[in-house]
Amino acid sequence: MVAPLAETVTLEDKALELCRFVLDQPEFQTSWSRIEAFLADPSAQSVYREWQEASRELAMREREGLPLTDHDLIAVETRKDAVLGNDVAVGFAESEETLNEIFGTVTRLLQKTLQLGRVPTREDLSADGCCGGGCGCH
């Protein structure tokens, strides 16, 4: 009788395992629910989009060295207040930040692993100033 061949675990298998782990995290589940609520709410999308556009315009004027008028600043603040007054839009913004933190954590750890040629220690991570919330080094 021939013994069965051992199944080879690939990098893709482990990456998919990490994906499943991320999906199972409560903060991901909460964020995903909030994003779905946002996508189903045209009003929340509108106030959020208007705030983002006004913020981009303001940043562009600033980069180009153009003077920022009170009107420009008030326009952004008014749109920001509209977002803050919409729970669904606020939830989306917070969820976007949470998902970016998850992505940043995984990316930083993988980059550090590739730089060092080994799994980084907590000391390796803290030496890079990686101790802001959500960095995975605590």
pLDDT digits 0-9 by tens, 26-44: 999 999 999 999 999 999 9
The answer to the question of residue 60 being in a domain is yes
The reply to whether 76 falls in a domain is: yes
Domain containing 75 equals 26-93
Residues 6 or more apart whose CB falls under 8 angstroms from that of 54 comprise: 75, 76, 79
In a domain, 117, yes or no: no
Measured CA to CA, the distance from residue 114 to residue 123 in angstroms comes to: 16
**pLDDT value of position 127:** 80
With respect to residue 87, please indicate whether it lies within any of the assigned structural domains: yes
Tokens of 118: 């080994």
pTM score, two decimals?
0.76
Cα(13)–Cα(83) distance, rounded to whole angstroms?
A: 40
21 falls within a domain: no
93: helix, strand or coil: helix
Whole-angstrom distance, CA of residue 119 vs CA of residue 128: 15
Q: How do residues 110-130 score in pLDDT, each as one tens digit?
A: 999 999 999 999 999 888 665
The total number of structural domains that make up the chain: 1
**Both structure tokens of 97:** 């930040």
**In this predicted structure, what is the pLDDT of residue 7?**
81
Determine the Cα–Cα distance for residues 59 and 41; give it in Å rounded to an integer: 27
In a domain, 15, yes or no: no
14 occurs within a structural domain: no
pLDDT, block means (10 residues), the chain with 138 residues: 74 95 96 98 97 94 92 94 97 96 95 95 80 47
